[in-house]
Structure 1
């Protein structure tokens, strides 16, 4: 079969074969030598940008750094200036890969990666998916992603889907009528895997549950399902595994960086140690030991076009105590730093705590398809939900009691039944939103 996917990368100037060779070379580094590899790559990328990137020179304020911990922490706010001002010597917007972050953190920005760095990202993705016998040149993808609605952007994405051997399902309307068409497409197409936003794929699983259908009974070629971009809860994973009949794989990445973590066949959320260095820091930027919760800060080893060095991605997580330099494991991804609920007592709680507690109750009978929680005042929260039947008073009381138990008393809730929930332009569903001004 003709390798359209590899060809599309080559046509766009991404040296995929060179990148795959480099990635395999990194993979072969033994555990005993991997710490040295990390230390060398950290030093190389810092030295490179201190020498070749004026924006980073100005940010650091020094031309030489002796200790890693001296390096300041980069945030998205540092990138709120024209891209050309942030590029290293020898790079222009014409000879790099340029893209824009989704803005889910509230600070969207345009970024760049040199073409070899971006090819390495694809080499990593190809390697991770191959663990589940997925070949991007030959495997057929069922894609649950957003798509631009304007003409040119829409056609570009459709072309990419053709080159990736992918069929994209609309996710802005996932009513039962639309999901019937999705099911029909699975019945007549030999899909190898599902990939896309967690919330959309969960809705499809709930639809199948209601119809008492296991997807592999109508699409026996299906091998796995990879969910990304949104939180995956254990109950949803169990539901999808049951209704799809295949393993559910959790992916965590950032467009400006790389794959950050990918669930391996041993059910471990393995962090990317090949092209990234990942630290967990406290509020004072001290490095925390494995097992402690803190801010996820990432360094990209190979991006010479644009520095991402000790870059606070805006997420909170924990690295497993069993981790090694070669095989670090993400124990838990807790949420985004801007998804924090500030309560009347002064207590701070991850917004997903509300979502998780409410979710454990609200979906027991399968009536509620999906919901989001919005903090509108210090003591007031709106719970917007889509359901076939309006929530009963006893259900609402049970939710309130559970939230009081896990958080605190005296909070007010407005339950709002809706026909559909608002999603971002990309199609992502933000499960918790704080509307309070800092």
Structure 2
């Protein structure tokens, strides 16, 4: 039974917050809580209807797609089946970088600028409108409620945060206090920091945890090593995302915190793609996203086979993500979930892995602390960071024509600020970055001990 304050936040305060931001996430969440029980054929019909509406809109008001449809002879908004989506070319990070202005809708207002590329190693700048934000908030909110927790329940978030906070961050801090959400910065994992994290979690006694699986498992391992119980706090669930969740991480987090672990998959670029329900199913947000799995030649894989995830987000008419190649690999689940929801499922997600690095003084730091320095640099096609030891770090960059020649010096300064002034940082420009022997890409590799 949710507390009186939780009911106030979920039913009044947060809806007011969303209305003030011109989001319609409350109504969308209510719709999603009904549509999740639709049968697969009904969901497919809903997807087709929304796909045609999206293509009709972008075909009229997005220059890139208006020209594409005219060139390919595609009558936007007239598809008879979802399979016709394969007539459209893939959208890649390189295509977006080359056509950023052309992908913006002529009708878009108040677009927010974002960047990503942490786990993919390919920096990307893109834009999101209020429609897309509303849908992502609604999808995450629905998945949260699957676990008998809600907005307003005490929450501890272990996440990356900037070193310096601006005015907007301070406003966000006030909002988080009202919503009973508290942030623990995941970039630094020194002994003292880990002690303070354990103490903060015990003090707050959150109903839910949220964070990187690597960070939560690191805190859990520390608490166990210190003999500190964490399974007596009443934590209902630990939500993890942004990295691949390994079995040993799930087991450790669940054992130490005394709660189930709910995996989530998505990204700022591709959207809120899938989330695990209490019955174990990794359900796609099928009302908002169409997911295709393709092989190396761009062809759809057979059911049960691994393929690269390609996403069409149906709420992105302001800056469309249509057949967007994520670079992640997954397997579709052909079974039905015991929960009874008609939402399709992913069986296995094989992508996404970001490592920790170790500073000169031995502090364990999340790899995203270094990635954030790189991912917003203009003219950078891809990158890789190899920490050979605490004393030496190598940065491989694949530059594009617009690459700023002064960037390497800024990278060195930024890395030294985080790793230690005594660290040698070698920045090397290369033509290409090869994958690992396994064929997978890793963009933060640390050999430091």
Q: Under TM normalisation by the shorter chain, which class is it? A: 0.7 to 0.9
CA distance in 2, matches of 1:194, 1:142: 5
Partner of 2:14: 5
Contact 2:187/2:365 (CA < 8 Å) preserved in 1?
no
Partner of 1:432: 442
1:197 is displaced (CA, Å) by 1.3
1:70 is displaced (CA, Å) by 1.4
Contact 1:57/1:63 (CA < 8 Å) preserved in 2?
no
Partner of 1:301: 314
Deviations 1:200-221 (A, max 9, x none): 111101101212333122xx23
CA distance in 1, matches of 2:127, 2:155: 27
CA distance in 1, matches of 2:442, 2:106: 41
The within-5 A match list for 1:98-113 is: 98-113=113-128
Partner of 1:269: 282
User: Which of 64, 68, 74 is 1:64 aligned to?
Assistant: 74
- Partner SS state of residue 265, structure 1: coil
Partner of 1:333: 349
CA RMSD of aligned residues (A): 3.3
TM-score by length of 1: 0.72
How many residues are treated as equivalent by the alignment?
Answer: 355
Partner of 1:39: 48
Q: Which runs of 5+ in 1 are unaligned?
A: 340-351, 356-368, 373-380, 387-418, 423-429
- Partner SS state of residue 122, structure 1: helix
Partner of 2:262: 249
Contact 2:186/2:366 (CA < 8 Å) preserved in 1?
no
Contact 2:161/2:187 (CA < 8 Å) preserved in 1?
no
1:53 paired to 2:62:
yes
Deviations 1:397-433 (A, max 9, x none): xxxxxxxxxxxxxxxxxxxxxx9899xxxxxxx9933
Q: Which runs of 5+ in 2 are unaligned?
A: 356-363, 368-384, 391-417, 424-439
Deviations 1:142-184 (A, max 9, x none): 1101112233164355345335421111222212221111222
1:55 is displaced (CA, Å) by 1.5
Moved more, 245-254 or 42-51: 42-51
Partner of 1:77: 94
Contact 1:371/1:384 (CA < 8 Å) preserved in 2?
no
CA distance in 2, matches of 1:142, 1:289: 40
1:260 paired to 2:273:
yes
CA distance in 2, matches of 1:315, 1:333: 8
CA distance in 2, matches of 1:20, 1:242: 32
Partner of 1:172: 187
User: Which of 322, 332, 335 is 1:319 aligned to?
Assistant: 332
Partner of 1:139: 153
CA distance in 1, matches of 2:351, 2:38: 32
CA distance in 2, matches of 1:370, 1:238: 22
Moved more, 81-90 or 122-131: 81-90
1:228 is displaced (CA, Å) by 0.9
Partner of 2:199: 184
Contact 2:294/2:300 (CA < 8 Å) preserved in 1?
yes
